[in-house]
Copies of this chain bind each other. A is one copy, B any other.
């Protein structure tokens, strides 16, 4: 028992030099999702969208069961990509082109694969931006989610040569006709506004309309760590106070996806009929969130669209802005120079589906 050390068995993550254009990464640890995950997701955020909450209601509309919350699916797929993509990330820069492609039910097993679709060294020479398209699958191969994200990743060695820069063309927004694959054709006559929490439907929302979601939710350290572990997301900055206490912020950083889920749950107050997040057009974590902060949110309808072949549902393009310790009755936003109000932490652009 000589005490030989094995550093090669631990995952130190990929550095910028380790990524190659076109590279395919099959991520570890497939995950069977269950009613247990759905219950925890409810406990973590308190969502009340009726379709994901009630089997009876979901079946009456045409689903097999209540589908899992879209963002729970997103976080689980995202979590799988972390050990391979962003363990050495300095920053998660953005999302684009996200689509939910099939309903996910308790019992489904999710796995994830990513393809490197862009690489660009930053001017400092110390980091580079990696663009990946990540896809979530069920065990039978059904695609459930597909999205692009780009992250700034440290170089292992600053002297490494820069790769040929390739920046993928990303859509400004998902085409409406590409939405809705995760929603079976619904018997929308079964839609019940009282049970859904709002008398409003697709036609009641107007482009330009702003909605203050009113309520605030304070985040505790325990909450965000439970959530992030539930997603098997291993990014160190969320969990390790010993190390983070000595770091840039002196505190654990909250997983950005936690903010997205909080904002979505808060948005029920004003957007109760928006039962499904069908697409993620773009998103930016404007500032970090720390435990003790209270998250508020407001939304604006950016666009409306019918979906070809679907007279049951329509799509609203919705921009959601989340803040910390700042109610949103006056819709805090960017100023004339494009600088965000200092309370803003999230700027998210999604397509959401509503009954017609």
Contact = CB atoms under 8 A, between A and B. Distances in A.
B10 A292 contact: no
Contacts of A9: 198, 200, 204-205, 211, 270-271
A86 to B, nearest CB: 15
Interface string A218-229: 101111011111
Interface in A263-294: 269-272, 292, 294
Interface string A190-233: 00001111101000111111111111111011110111111011
A37 interface: yes
A66 interface: yes
Contacts of A270: 6, 9-10
A29 B212 contact: no
Interface in A94-147: 106-107, 109, 111, 139
Interface string A247-276: 000001000000000000000011110000
A151 interface: no
Interface string A63-80: 000100000000000000
A46 interface: yes
A16 interface: no
Nearest to A221: B220
Given A39-B36, A109-B55, A209-B4, A46 B232 contact: yes
Given A3-B300, A10-B269, 15 more contacts: A1-B300, A4-B209, A9-B211, A10-B211, A12-B214, A40-B40, A42-B232, A46-B232, A46-B234, A48-B232, A111-B195, A216-B242, A218-B242, A223-B226, A243-B294
Interface of A: 1-7, 9-12, 26-32, 34-40, 42-50, 53-57, 66, 83, 106-107, 109, 111, 139, 194-198, 200, 204-218, 220-223, 225-230, 232-234, 236, 239-243, 252, 269-272, 292, 294, 296, 300, 302, 325, 327, 331
